[in-house]
């Protein structure tokens, strides 16, 4: 069996008449960690949403573990083993922390059950004292932990994290990076969007960069770190 | 309205209110599933106003169908024998057992709904869905199924209420309309989306309505103007909305 977990081929996406993604090809191997970068408005979130069927109109092919999922409704795509932590975290503020975790809980589709409530609370000990608090009362960092924990409760094979550390204090951000490390070590593939090149390249196998809806870079993080030219050209930093 | 007429037809059919009740609720539930599937589900992506217009249209259609099927006569549903008596509260005041039974059943349903929405996983998903539909989908949950069942349960509960009310209110054309408006007032005063609010405002409106009638008649002696008593409830709504536009327990949306 091949090692390819997710394969996206020739993905085009449209918001009305706006052509946002121009034939993106991307593939993620089992257990692989990929950093997705690009300036604002280059199509990162659109790419992620298109993969999950939550975004705009799209054409192209999306396969998960070899089977085509392009035309499935979003929840069925996700049930194949994808979990999503959106930009802005998507916490249900009227549900308590505990309820946020319990509502998504299920056994993974290939019988995976690594992540239980106890398991999730073990990697996020700061949530233990917050279980009865409303999701809206948590700090940004706690919300991000909760959102990752909630995603893990679905026992995914692939975790998608949009803007993993945006708006978080450096110390909290470093906690999040450590968590992604733990998740990766547990054998879950991860796609992370973030603006921190050095942190991303430290934990990912490769980095891909979108510019105006096209994939313009697909390679090792070191290559970017060592080239000011590339950084300036592709990321504007 | 549908519930009351179902109670009427089904208890004639089966000769028993007790069989009519579950059968009627099941029919209403299935009808709800069908309506959601054929009509309502197509409007979620649009403004709420479209749903209001569609459901209002449905009221008109159902009202005409009712006229075709059942005619325009006033019908009655017999109170089931076992509950067809009264207890004497004082020497001159008696209270029908059936009404007490309705109160108990309604309280039980309210507690049951509260428990389901606040304490079960299904309830968590329903609450989450009302907050962020896409996020619930992104967690691999079938929101379309959630929507369909929530709507159907709503229809079934409304029909259940109609069936319970049939023996005390008699069954007549347009009977749903009075209830509908009062229901709107209850929801608006309580705050949209709050069960606690709905409970409290329903009690409040019941009291204000009943006492409003007595008090206006006695103090002002308005025999000529009994309509005024019917307006008290709307004065209450206006007052609440002026002070708390989101209702008593409503959340403000940002």
Mean pLDDT, residues A175-179 taken together: 93
A159 contacts in chain B (CB < 8 Å): none
Nearest to residue A224, comparing CAs of A235, A213, A210?
A235
The tens digit of pLDDT for each residue in B132-181 reads: 999 999 999 999 999 999 999 999 999 999 999 888 888 888 888 878 88
Nearest to residue B193, comparing CAs of B241, B243, B252, B139?
B252
The domain of A51 spans: 4-235
What ipTM does the predicted assembly reach? 0.87
Per the structure, the count of domains in chain A is 1
Helix extents (H) in B71-142: 97-119, 121-131, 133-138
- Please tell me the predicted confidence (pLDDT) of residue B174: 81
Q: What CATH code is carried by the domain that includes residue A21?
A: 3.40.50.300
pLDDT-derived band at B254 (thresholds 50, 70, 90) equals: very low
A54, A75, A102: residue with CB nearest B124: A102
Mean pLDDT, residues B167-196 taken together: 84
Q: Say which DSSP state A135 is in.
A: G
Note every long-range contact of A179-187, with CB atoms under 8 Å and residues 24 or more positions apart, other chains counting.
A179/A123, A179/A124, A179/A145, A179/A148, A180/A33, A182/A123, A183/A148, A183/A152, A183/A159, A184/A31, A184/A33, A186/A114, A187/A30, A187/A31
Nearest to residue B186, comparing CAs of B163, B158, B167?
B158
Q: Is the pLDDT of residue B223 over 60?
A: no
Mean pLDDT, residues B241-254 taken together: 76
8 Å CB contact of A54 and B137: yes
Decide which of A232 and B109 is more confident: B109
Contact criterion met (CB below 8 Å) for A54 and A224: no
A76, A90, A99: residue with CB nearest B135: A90
Contacting B residues, span 82-141, partner chain A, CB-CB under 8 Å = 121, 124-125, 127-128, 131-132, 134-135, 137-141
Query: Distance from B120 to chain A by nearest Cα, in Å?
Result: 9
Contact criterion met (CB below 8 Å) for B179 and B187: no
β-bridge mates for residue A217, sequence order: A209
Query: Distance from B128 to chain A by nearest Cα, in Å?
Result: 6
pLDDT-derived band at B16 (thresholds 50, 70, 90) equals: confident
The tens digit of pLDDT for each residue in B83-95 reads: 888 888 888 888 8
- Please tell me the predicted confidence (pLDDT) of residue B137: 93
The tens digit of pLDDT for each residue in A21-36 reads: 998 999 999 999 999 9
- Please tell me the predicted confidence (pLDDT) of residue A161: 94
Mean pLDDT, residues A118-130 taken together: 92
Q: How far apart are CA A97 and CA A31, in angstroms?
A: 28
Task: State the Cα angle at A92 between B139 and A160, rounded to 5°.
Answer: 40
Decide which of A234 and B230 is more confident: A234
pLDDT-derived band at B193 (thresholds 50, 70, 90) equals: confident
Helix extents (H) in A39-167: 44-52, 74-79, 97-104, 117-123, 140-152
Kindly report which listed range (B20-29, B45-54, B245-254) carries the lowest average pLDDT score.
B245-254
């Amino acid at each position: 069996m091949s090692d390819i977990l997710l394969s996206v081929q020739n993905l085009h996406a449209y918001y009305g008449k706006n052509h946002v993604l121009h034939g993106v090809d991307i593939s993620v191997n089992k257990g692989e960690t990929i950093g997705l970068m690009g300036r604002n408005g280059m199509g990162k979130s659109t790419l992620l949403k298109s993969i999950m069927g939550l975004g705009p109109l799209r054409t192209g092919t999306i396969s998960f573990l070899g089977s085509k999922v392009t035309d499935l409704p979003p929840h069925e795509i996700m049930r194949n083993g994808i979990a999503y932590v959106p930009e802005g975290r998507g916490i249900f503020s009227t549900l308590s922390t505990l309820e946020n975790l319990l509502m998504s809980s299920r056994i993974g589709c290939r019988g995976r059950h690594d992540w239980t409530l106890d398991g999730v609370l073990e990697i996020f000990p700061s949530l233990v004292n917050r279980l009865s608090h409303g999701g809206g009362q948590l700090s940004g960092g706690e919300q991000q932990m909760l959102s990752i924990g909630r995603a893990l409760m679905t026992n995914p094979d692939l975790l998608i994290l949009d803007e993993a550390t945006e708006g978080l204090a450096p110390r909290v951000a470093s906690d999040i990076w450590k968590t992604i490390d733990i998740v990766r070590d547990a054998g879950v593939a991860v796609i992370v969007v973030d603006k921190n090149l050095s942190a991303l390249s430290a934990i990912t196998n490769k980095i891909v960069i979108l510019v105006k809806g096209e994939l313009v870079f697909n390679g090792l993080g070191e290559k970017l770190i060592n080239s000011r030219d590339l950084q300036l050209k592709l990321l504007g930093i | 309205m549908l519930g009351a007429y179902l109670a009427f037809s089904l208890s004639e059919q089966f000769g028993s209110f007790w069989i009519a009740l579950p059968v009627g609720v099941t029919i209403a539930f299935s009808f709800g599933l069908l309506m959601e599937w054929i009509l309502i589900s197509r409007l979620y992506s649009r403004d709420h106003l479209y749903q209001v217009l569609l459901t209002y249209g449905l009221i008109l259609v159902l009202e005409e169908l009712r006229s075709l099927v059942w005619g325009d006569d006033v019908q009655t549903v017999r109170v089931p024998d076992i509950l067809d008596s009264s207890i004497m509260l004082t020497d001159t005041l008696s209270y029908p057992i059936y009404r007490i039974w309705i109160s108990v059943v309604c309280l039980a349903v309210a507690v049951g709904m509260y428990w389901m929405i606040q304490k079960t996983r299904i309830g968590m998903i329903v609450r989450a869905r009302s907050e962020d539909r896409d996020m619930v989908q992104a967690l691999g949950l079938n929101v379309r199924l959630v929507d369909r069942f929530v709507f159907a349960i709503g229809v079934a509960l409304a029909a259940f209420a109609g069936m319970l009310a049939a023996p005390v209110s008699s069954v007549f054309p347009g009977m749903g309309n009075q209830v509908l408006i009062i229901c709107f007032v209850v929801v608006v005063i309580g705050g949209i989306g709050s069960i606690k609010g709905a409970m409290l405002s329903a009690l409040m409106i019941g009291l204000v309505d009943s006492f409003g009638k007595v008090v206006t008649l006695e103090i002002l002696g308005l025999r000529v103007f009994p309509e005024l008593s019917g307006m008290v409830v709307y004065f209450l709504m206006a007052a609440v909305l002026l002070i708390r536009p989101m209702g008593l327990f409503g959340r403000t949306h940002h």
